[in-house]
């Protein structure tokens, strides 16, 4: 769990969503292939009106070879949202190449019914969606034989050149918005870390320029690592509530050996790249890492929720200097 997971803007990306979906069957239209739907035409900024009954064959939306930008939510039979492109990182529309339907009455048919700017609510059999469309077993929170509901907003329809430009714009927007959110989050985390140090009576803490707090619990006598040096580090990772999520001491994959990585090469989370160079070889320390310098808005595992401040108890076991030093 220590090593850095890299975000890449997917070729798939996004969804605005309608605020409610009445489960009464009479309020859904149904296509000949069994797709239940309600379509809302955009009539102005923030204004929509419901379209009447239409057919997937009307194909108001994208054609094969075009690209679409979608925002969507997916809800289970209890109306619990388990996918939401607006609220889940990267908070951006999905950009996907449109292809001919893989299954009748499926998601592609739904998208074909949406003109640019339209929103739609679509209800489908969960077993069919996951086995035929997603090609995966049902998640634990979805019961066999129930329905899933898609709320989809077609943001725009584009050709390939337009899609390439749009994705570049999305990436730039993601970077700018992420920076703003991270700056706000690191201030929130800083207050929590200071309180944690006080509550746990950890003693005098030092702080890196980026915002990582570290407390040296045993001072080593060796030198400090520099950028590019290969370091060997033993560690135990916990959340501030004490829940352990990783440890080099009892990791069967590494045989209980310390992990090795080059300093400053972005092979570990930024908090490690910033804090480990502050330690002398042989030192033991506590690292308290604000979430933007760890995994940020990503949740790499159930044990590390989004925006988690992480504690690492580390020992700098060895340093392998660069050959040219």
Beta strand ranges found along 104-192 (DSSP E) = 119-125, 147-158
* Dihedral (Cα; 164, 117, 86, 25), 10-degree rounding: -130
Residue pair 237/246 in contact (Cβ under 8 Å)? The answer is yes
Cα-Cα-Cα-Cα torsion 227, 231, 234, 240, nearest 10 degrees, comes to: 10
- Please say whether the beta carbons of 174 and 148 come within 8 A: no
**125-136 core/surface letters (b: 16 or more CB in 10 A; e: else):** bbbebbeeeeee
The catalytic residues are 235, 245-246, 269, 295, 312
Best CA proximity match to 68, nearest among 109, 122, 13 = 13
- 294 secondary structure, DSSP code: T
Beta partners for residue 311, in sequence order: 238, 288
- The Cα 135–Cα 131 span in angstroms is 5
**SS3 call for 37:** strand
From the list 237, 228, 212, the residue with the least C-alpha distance to 291 is 212
Residue 9 burial class via C-beta count within 10 angstroms: exposed 0-12, middle 13-18, buried 19 and up? middle
């Amino acid at each position: 769990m220590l090593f850095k997971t890299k975000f890449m803007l997917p070729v798939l990306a996004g969804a605005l969503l309608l605020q409610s979906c009445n489960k009464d069957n009479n309020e859904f239209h149904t296509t000949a292939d069994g797709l239940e739907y309600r379509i809302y035409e955009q009539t102005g900024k923030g204004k929509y009106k419901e379209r009447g009954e239409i057919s997937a064959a009307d194909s108001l939306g994208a054609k094969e070879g075009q690209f679409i930008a979608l925002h969507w939510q997916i809800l289970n039979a209890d109306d619990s949202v388990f996918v939401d492109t607006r609220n889940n990182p990267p908070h951006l529309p999905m950009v996907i190449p449109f292809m001919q339907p893989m299954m009748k009455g499926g998601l592609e048919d739904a998208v074909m019914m949406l003109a640019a700017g339209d929103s739609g609510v679509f209800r489908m059999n969960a077993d069919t969606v996951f086995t035929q469309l997603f090609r995966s077993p049902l998640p634990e929170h979805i019961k066999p034989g129930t329905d899933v509901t898609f709320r989809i907003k077609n943001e725009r329809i584009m050709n390939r050149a337009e899609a390439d430009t749009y994705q570049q714009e999305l990436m730039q927007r993601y970077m700018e918005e992420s920076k703003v959110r991270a700056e706000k989050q690191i201030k929130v985390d800083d207050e929590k870390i200071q309180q944690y140090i006080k509550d746990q009576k950890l003693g005098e803490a030092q702080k890196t320029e980026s915002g990582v707090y570290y407390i040296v619990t045993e001072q080593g006598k060796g030198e400090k690592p520099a950028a590019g040096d290969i370091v060997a580090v033993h560690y135990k990772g916990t959340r501030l509530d004490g829940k352990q999520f990783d440890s080099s001491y009892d990791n069967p994959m590494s045989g209980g050996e310390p992990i090795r990585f080059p300093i400053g090469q972005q092979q570990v989370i930024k908090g490690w790249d910033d804090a480990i160079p502050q330690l002398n070889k042989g030192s033991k320390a506590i690292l308290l890492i604000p979430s933007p310098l760890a995994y940020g808005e990503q949740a790499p595992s159930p044990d590390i929720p989004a925006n988690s401040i992480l504690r690492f108890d580390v020992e700098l076991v060895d340093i392998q200097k660069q050959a040219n030093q």
